[in-house]
């Protein structure tokens, strides 16, 4: 589920984190002002669903045509 109570509380999914300029391996917390690793967390965690990585569905490999479904 999207909003399940057992989501990972990591800074990479927090609303208050933003990537630091010049480095991709650390995040800056806009609330506390601290520098955190992406796997870290703090008491200011607020889940942002749009930061969760997603995967596209694969296209089906089939050779059907519209004529195959006509009655």
Residue ranges per structural domain of the chain: 1-51
Percent of the chain with pLDDT over 70: 93
- What DSSP designation does 28 have? E
CA distance 34 to 66: 57
Q: Is 14 exposed, middle or buried (0-12, 13-18, 19+ CB in 10 A)?
A: buried
Q: 42-60, pLDDT tens digit by residue?
A: 788 888 888 888 888 888 8
The pTM for the full model equals 0.58
């Amino acid at each position: 589920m999207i909003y399940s109570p057992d989501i990972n509380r990591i800074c990479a999914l927090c609303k208050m984190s933003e990537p630091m300029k010049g480095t991709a391996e650390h995040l800056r917390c806009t609330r506390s002002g601290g520098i955190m690793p992406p796997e870290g967390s703090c008491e200011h965690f607020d889940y942002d669903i749009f930061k969760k990585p997603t995967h596209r569905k694969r296209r089906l490999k089939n050779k059907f045509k519209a004529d195959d479904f006509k009655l």
